[in-house]
């Protein structure tokens, strides 16, 4: 009897243990199933992220035109109201006219292209089922693209990048028609995209010497230097033709970035408050040269001055070299060669690099152009388009001098000279001039002696087929509320005062009150032989656009505005003060320019975030 009770007890305990064990097995199976599903979700999400990351990488890559293609399509689309998303922002899904395909299909690669990219192949392909050992093979099966571009406001957009698995489709997420997931969003700020986004553009190079500061200010905040309205860092200096070197020898600081399609040489210059980027060598040859931003070169970066220094990071595809015991890089250095090739070392180069070092640089080239005469990078309007749009019939030559007389040009004509007929009224130039202008056509124009020339009563254009010469003590004034465009096919010489009554070089829309446009080809002359000479002692408040001439600014005064020329030379004590209001200019944008348009101009990355935005 006792044995029977013990057997029953063992049976009960055994059954209990079996039940617990079975539950543990079932529980384990559930956990495994859950983990398996989670792993599947991770793989699926990882592929979404792979596609979104790859789309963003290509969007930001300097060696293709995908971003430009998207921006060009966005220009018109983003300025239209096409419904609102859940944040209340106007939304426009980009589409191509051909076939009505949306941007996801048109701007994505084919499966074969993606396989080649993933495998690092120039040609050929692997079998469909051969995934290889390359981690990047995941891109071969991920459709990458831009899903949507959202207009946040007049100067910001959000770009949603997405990816999806592109297999034969064993669930809805993998199906060919699936929308995938928004994984990566980028916020871009947008400049208006007009002709005057930079302070100094010398397509074939810039040479700045003398004692003038190069900086920016904002005329909307008052006069230059008033209440700290100076030394802002938006005065970009740029060359965009192959081999266009930029040389700075001013002895004064520069506030802004320097971007060269050739090389950059910093000689006797103060601190550079900005970044340097060049397709050729960047050389800091002055002993005390200091760059406070980042420095990148497709070739090499050389610090040849004894105490030359770079505060930011340095990256060069060929090498980084320092030939001064006190030269120093305070940021990170990335180059395949950082050996002391230059003579004169008494200390290790590595001791003069504060940050980390890396041997794998990846510097993209500065964009180049063969058409300096384009008002914007898209090249939709050029200086030749401007000439073609202006009336051709001339009123003859006009030479004014002596007598302290005043000549006034208005929309009704020119007073004190009956030989000049009335200007042509309300002339428009699509893509260049945002508003109608009144045009007086002359064969040549000279103003000398003690004569006074006044522009008053509206927007006027002086189109001169020959030379323009203003000097000899004469004065040339643009009255308050008026503006003047000087368009010339000959040489332009300003040796006297040329003033605007307003303290600002721009009007309320950011367009220049005084502007010079020259089509003259000086064949690369320099100095006094340049096609455009600004030598007056007074301030020039306005813009200069002379893509086929050297612009020689040699006065002892200053230029408030912006300059673009075949080459730009700054000599004497002339300072260049870029007016940031010109960023809003609609000259060259093809529209009225009331807000710049969220689809125009350059897109600058401001932030990134992961996660769906729908």
Q: Residue 73: helix, strand or coil by DSSP?
A: helix
Report CA 79 to chain centroid distance, whole Å.
Answer: 20
What per-residue confidence (pLDDT) applies to 75?
54
DSSP for 139-190, written as a single string: GGGEEEEEEEEEEEETTEEEEEEEEEE-SS-SSGGGSTT---EEEEEEEEEE
What per-residue confidence (pLDDT) applies to 465?
96
DSSP for 278-308, written as a single string: ESS-EEE-STT-EE-S-EEESSEEEE-STT-
What per-residue confidence (pLDDT) applies to 556?
76
Q: Is the dihedral of CA 178, 183, 188, 193 positive or negative?
A: negative
Identify the DSSP state of 599.
T
Structural contact between residues 443 and 466, judged by C-beta atoms closer than 8 angstroms:
yes
What per-residue confidence (pLDDT) applies to 292?
94
In angstroms, rounded to a whole number, what is the distance separating the alpha carbons of residues 163 and 187? 18
Q: Is the dihedral of CA 235, 476, 504, 433 positive or negative?
A: negative
What per-residue confidence (pLDDT) applies to 38?
41
Q: In this structure, are strands 91-92 and 142-153 parallel, antiparallel, or unpaired?
A: antiparallel
Residue whose tokens read 């969003």: 185
Give the burial class of 470: count Cβ atoms within 10 A of its Cβ; 0-12 exposed, 13-18 middle, 19 or more buried. Answer: buried
- CB under 8 Å to 94, separation ≥6 — which residues? 70, 73, 74, 77, 102, 103, 146, 148, 149
Tokens of 139: 């891109």
Report CA 570 to chain centroid distance, whole Å.
Answer: 23
Q: Which of 497, 498, 515 is nearest to 506 (CA)?
A: 515
Identify the DSSP state of 512.
B
Q: Where are the beta strands (DSSP E) in 191-280?
A: 200-202, 205-209, 214-217, 237-239, 245-249, 258-260, 264-266, 276-278
Q: Residue 235: left (phi > 0), alpha (psi -120 to 50), or beta?
A: beta
In angstroms, rounded to a whole number, what is the distance separating the alpha carbons of residues 583 and 586? 9
In angstroms, rounded to a whole number, what is the distance separating the alpha carbons of residues 185 and 187? 7
At residue 81, φ and ψ (nearest 5 deg) are -85, 125
For the chain, list residues with pLDDT below 70: 1-48, 50-51, 54, 58, 61-145, 153-155, 163-182, 190-193, 339-348, 377-380, 417-421, 538, 589-602, 611-614
Q: How many CA atoms lie within 13 A of 242 on its CB side?
A: 1
Q: In this structure, are strands 295-297 and 237-239 parallel, antiparallel, or unpaired?
A: unpaired
> Kind and range of the H or E element at 516?
strand 514-518
DSSP for 528-582, written as a single string: GGSSEEE--SS-EEEEEEEEEEEEEE--SSEEEEEEEEEEEEE-TT-EEEEEGGG
Tokens of 77: 């689309």
Q: Residue 450: helix, strand or coil by DSSP?
A: coil
What per-residue confidence (pLDDT) applies to 305?
72
Gyration radius of the chain's alpha carbons: 32
Structural contact between residues 593 and 586, judged by C-beta atoms closer than 8 angstroms:
yes
> Kind and range of the H or E element at 493?
strand 492-494
Structural contact between residues 575 and 553, judged by C-beta atoms closer than 8 angstroms:
no
């Amino acid at each position: 009897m006792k044995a029977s009770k013990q057997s029953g007890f063992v049976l009960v305990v055994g059954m209990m243990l079996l039940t617990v064990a079975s539950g543990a097995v079932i529980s384990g199976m559930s956990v495994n199933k859950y983990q398996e599903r989670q792993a599947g979700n991770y793989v699926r999400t990882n592929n979404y992220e792979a596609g979104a990351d790859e789309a963003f990488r290509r969007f930001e890559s300097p060696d293709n035109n995908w971003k430009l293609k998207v921006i060009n399509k966005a220009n018109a689309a983003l300025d239209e109201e096409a419904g609102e998303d859940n944040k209340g922002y106007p939304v426009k899904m980009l589409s191509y006219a051909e076939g009505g395909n949306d941007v996801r299909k048109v701007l994505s690669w084919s499966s074969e292209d993606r396989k080649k990219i993933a495998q690092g192949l120039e040609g050929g392909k692997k079998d469909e089922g051969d995934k290889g050992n390359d981690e990047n093979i995941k891109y071969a099966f991920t459709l990458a693209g831009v899903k949507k571009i959202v207009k946040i406001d007049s100067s910001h957009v959000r770009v949603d990048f997405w990816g999806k698995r592109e297999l034969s489709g064993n669930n809805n997420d993998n199906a060919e028609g699936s929308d995938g997931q928004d994984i990566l969003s980028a916020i871009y700020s947008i400049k208006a995209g007009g002709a005057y986004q930079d302070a100094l553009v010398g397509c074939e190079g810039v040479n700045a010497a003398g004692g003038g500061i190069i900086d920016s200010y904002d005329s909307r905040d008052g006069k230059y230097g008033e209440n700290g309205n100076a030394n802002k860092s938006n005065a970009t200096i740029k060359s965009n033709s192959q081999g266009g070197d930029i040389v700075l020898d001013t002895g004064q600081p520069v506030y802004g970035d320097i971007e060269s399609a050739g090389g950059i040489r910093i000689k006797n210059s103060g601190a550079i408050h900005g970044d340097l980027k060049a397709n050729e060598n960047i050389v800091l040859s002055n002993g005390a040269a200091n760059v406070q931003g980042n420095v990148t070169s497709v070739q090499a970066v050389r610090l040849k001055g004894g105490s030359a220094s770079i505060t930011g990071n340095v990256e060069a595809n060929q090498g980084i070299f320092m030939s001064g015991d006190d030269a120093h890089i305070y940021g990170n250095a990335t180059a395949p060669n950082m050996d002391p090739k230059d003579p004169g070392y008494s200390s290790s180069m590595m001791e003069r690099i504060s940050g980390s070092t890396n041997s794998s640089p990846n510097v993209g080239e500065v964009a180049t152009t063969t058409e300096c005469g384009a008002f914007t990078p898209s090249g939709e309007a050029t200086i030749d388009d401007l000439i073609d749009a202006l009336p051709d019939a001339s009123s003859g030559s006009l030479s004014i001098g002596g007598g302290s007389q005043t000549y006034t040009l208005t929309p009704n004509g020119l007073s004190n000279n009956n030989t000049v007929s009335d200007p042509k009224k309300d002339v428009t130039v699509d893509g260049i001039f945002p508003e109608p202008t009144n045009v007086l056509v002359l064969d040549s124009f000279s103003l000398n002696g003690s004569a006074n020339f006044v522009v008053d009563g509206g927007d006027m254009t002086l189109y001169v087929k020959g030379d323009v010469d203003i000097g000899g003590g004469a004065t040339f004034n643009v009255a308050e509320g008026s503006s003047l465009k000087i368009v010339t096919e000959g040489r332009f010489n300003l040796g006297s005062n040329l003033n605007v009554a307003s303290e600002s070089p721009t009007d309320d829309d950011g367009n220049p009150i005084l502007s010079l446009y020259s089509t003259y080809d000086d064949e690369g002359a320099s100095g006094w032989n340049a096609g455009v000479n600004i030598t007056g002692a007074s301030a020039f408040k306005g813009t200069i656009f002379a893509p086929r001439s050297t612009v020689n600014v040699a006065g002892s005064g200053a230029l408030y505005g912006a300059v673009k020329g075949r080459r730009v030379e700054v000599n004497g004590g002339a300072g260049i003060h870029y007016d940031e209001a010109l960023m809003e200019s609609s000259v060259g944008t093809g529209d009225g320019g009331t807000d710049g348009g969220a689809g125009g101009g350059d897109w600058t990355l401001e932030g990134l975030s992961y996660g769906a935005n729908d």
